[in-house]
Structure 1
Amino acid sequence: MDEFPVVVVGAGPTGLAAAAHLAERGERVLVLEAGDRAGAAVARWHHVWLFSRWSELVDPAAERLLGATGWVRPDDDGYPTGAEWADRYLTPLAEALGDRVRFGARVTGVARRGRDRVVDAGRADEPLTVHVGDERITARAVVDASGTYGSPNPLGGDGLPAAGEEAAAERITYRVPDVAADPSRYAGRRIAVAGSGHSALTALVALADLAEREPGTEVVWLLRRGEPGTAFGGGEADQLPARGALGLRARKAVEAGHVETVTGFRTAAVERGDDGRLTLTSSGGHRVTGVDEVVALTGFRPDLSWLSEIRLDLDPVLQAPAALAPLVDPNVHSCGTVYPHGESELRHPEPGVYLVGMKSYGRAPTFLALTGYEQVRSVAAAIAGDHEAARRVELVLPETGVCGGSGAFDAPQEPDAPRDQDSGGCCGAPSSVPITLVTGDR
C-alpha cells in the first residue's frame, strides 16, 4: 500500500508534529484540517497562557523542518498564549509542510475500503478510505489527531445535558471566557463556574480578579466532589511551575473570599426565572439562585461518530485506547504523571489506525504537548517499519506534585494520613513564576 498516503486528521500541535515525523521518514502524508488555519482550536483560546514553556512546545522533527525555512525559535523560557503558539509555531509549520496540509477539509468517516466493520474476509489486504464530504481519499494509515476541543462535556452531572441546559444555552459558555475582552458580560453579575480542572481554575482566577475591581461581581464555584481536595494541584511541588502557580492563585482567591465554594453539587436542572436569571438545582435538591452566567468547564470527550466503521479497542470508561487507559485514568492515577507510552499502547485491532494527542486520552484530563509529540514519533516510526524506534520511549513528563487519583467522588482519608495539598505531594519543588492565566496544552 506504499502508493497511498498516510492521512493525518487535524492540523493542531500533535497532527502537524505527526506530519513532520512522517515527512522526515520519507512517507507520503496528507493532513486534513476542518478549520481554516493551523491550530484552529488553539486559536479559539487565544487569550489563555500555557503552563508549558516554549522548550516543551516545539516538536523536534518539526523544528528540523522549520530550520530549513529560516524560522527563528522563540525563547525557550517564555510562556506563550494560545494565539502566540498558533501564530509563531503552528502556522509556520503548516506553511513548511506546504501542500501536504489541506484546510476546510472535514473528515466525515473512515472505513476499510469495500468492507464495513463486520466483514473479516480480505480486510487486512485493503487500504483505508477517508471520507471528506463526497470525496474519497485512499490511505495506507490514518492518524487521528483531531483532539476533543470541539466536544465539551455538558453541565449536567450525569454526563448528559441537565434539564433546561439547552434552553439556557445563551447564558452558558463551555470554554475559558476571555474576561478582559468582554468584561461587561461578567462585571457586576453573579457567575457560576462548574468544574475542578485547570480550565476551571483559570476562569476562577480571572473572574476573582474582576470581582476585586468591579463591585457587585459574585463568583460561585460548583464542585461535584465533597471538598476541594487536590483541585488546587500540587502548588510549589509541581514540576511545571506555572501549573503550580495557577493552583496557588486559585486557592488564594477562594481563601480571600472572592469565590464562594459549593461542594457536592452535581447539576440536574437549569431553570430560568421571570427576571431572566438562572437557578441551578443539584441532583440532591440543593439550589444556587440568581445566576446571570454559567461557565461550564467540566472537561471534554472524543467524537468517535466518524470512526463507527473502524474496529477500535477502547476502554469502556474513558473511551481511550484500552492499553493506555490504565495509565491516565483519573480514578486511580497516582502522582499526576503518565508512564511512557507509544505505538504499542495506541494501536487498535484495525491495522494502521491510531488515535493520538488529546483524543488518545478519551475523557481523561491533563494532556501535555510533550506527550503527543512522543506518541507521534513512535507511531510514525511504526508506520515507516522502524519497529525498534517505535518501541523506544524517549520521554519523561513533569510531575504535578499531586499523589492519588481525583476520581468521581473523593474517597475518605485516614485521620493520620497527610493531605496531598499540605504535604507537598510526591515531587520536588521548583521555583515560582509570574503567570496570570494558564491552561493545559490541548
Structure 2
Amino acid sequence: MAKIIPFKAVRPTRDKVSLLAARSYDSYTPAQRESRLRDNPFSFLHIVNPGYKYHKEISGEERYSLVKNRYQEFKEDGVFMQDEKPCFYIYKIVNRDGIEFNGIVAAASTEDYKNNVLKKHEETLEYKEVVFKEYLKTVGFNAEAVLLTHPDNEALSAIVKNVMKTRAEYEFTTTYRDTHYLWNVDDAEIVKKISGIFSEMESLYIADGHHRSASSFLLSEDLKEENNNHTGNEPYNFFMSYMIPESNLKIYEFNRLVKDLNGLSKEEFLIRLDAVFRIENRGLEYYKPTQKQNFSMYLDGEFYSLYLRKNSYTINNALDALDAQILYTTILKPILGIKDLRNDKRIKYTDGKSDMAYVQTIVDTGEFTVGFGLLPVTVSEMKSIADEGLKMPPKTTFVLPKLRSGVTVYEF
C-alpha cells in the first residue's frame, strides 16, 4: 500500500512566486536563459545556474556547492519561507491550450519505490542516477516533483474540489501563458483523510521523473548507511511528488527523425519496408497515424502511411504491442542500423506537440532524411508495461502536466 505523507515545504513568498517559478533548466534556449537571468534576480534559474554570477560555466561538485549557497541566500533574503506544519499542496494548472490539471504535491516513499509499489515503465541510465544523487546529497533539497499517477478516486476528488473553492495561496500566470494555483492543506482531519486514501491504493505509477525517483532512492540508501540511528521516518526516506488522477494525465508521443538511410537508396529502403508494412504513398497530403500499429513517414518530400503486416510480427507481451517498440524492432534497428536508441547521434526525438508538420520542416532542411510519426501511448499501455515489469524504449512518452521548479521545495 502506498505511503504518501505531507511535508513542510520551503516555498516563495506570495509576492515573489511568479518571479521565482521556472521551467526545467534544459527547456529554455540559451537566449531565453540569458534573458531571464539578466532581467530577473528572483528567478530560480539563479539557484541552478550559480556560475552566472561569475560569468563562468561551473560543473561538478563546485557547481553543487554553489547551488546550495545560492539557495541559502534566497532563504536568508526572505525570498523563501517554510510552512510551520506539514501540508499537502493542491496544485492546479490551466495551460495555454485550456487543459486543466489538478493534483496533490506530497512526499512519496523511497521504500515504496524499492518494493515496486511505485511502478516504473521507463529505463534509466545509471550514470544519470548517480550524478543526480550526488547533486541532491550536496544541495540538500529537491525542487522538481516526480509525476505520479493513481486510479481516479471520488473521495479524493471531492476533497480537492472542496479545497479549491477557497482562496488559493498562489495564483499566477507565466509568460508561457500557463496559470498556476496552489492551496496548502494543513487541517489535521483533511490531511489524515488524504493519507488514508493513498494508503488504500495498491500501487501508483511513475508518469514522469524516473531518474529523479531513482536518484532519490539511491540517496536514501546512502544516508541510511551513514545514520546509525536510522528510523525510516527521516526526510531522506521520501521524495517530492505530484499525484494526479489517471484521467487527468495528458500523454503525447515522441516522433522520430533519422539522419540517413543507412547506406540504402530510397527505393531499396522502401522495398525493405514492404516486407513488414503495407505502404501507401500519400504524396503531399499531410498524414498522421490513425490507429495503433500504423505509422506516418515523411521521406523525400512525400508522406507515407505504414500499416504493420500482422503475419510479419509476433506479439508476446505488452512491450511488443507498443508502437515505439514495433518501430524499433522492425525499422530502426534491422533496416536503419540504430541499435542504441539513447546514444546514437543519427536519431533525434521530437514531442508530438510539434506534430508531423515539424518533422516535415526538419526533413526538408536536409538535416534529417526520414521522419516517423506515432500515436501517443495510452495510460492503459503504460500501466500494462509497468505491471509486467517491462520498460519502454527511451523517448516514448511526453507527459503533461509539467510543474514549475521552486514553487515547492522539499528539504532532507
Shared topology, TM-score over 0.5? no
Q: With the length of structure 2 as denominator, give the TM-score of the two structures.
A: 0.26
* More relative contact order, 1 or 2 (CA 8 Å, 6+ apart): 2
| TM-score normalised by L of structure 1 | 0.25
More strand by share: 2
More helix by share: 2
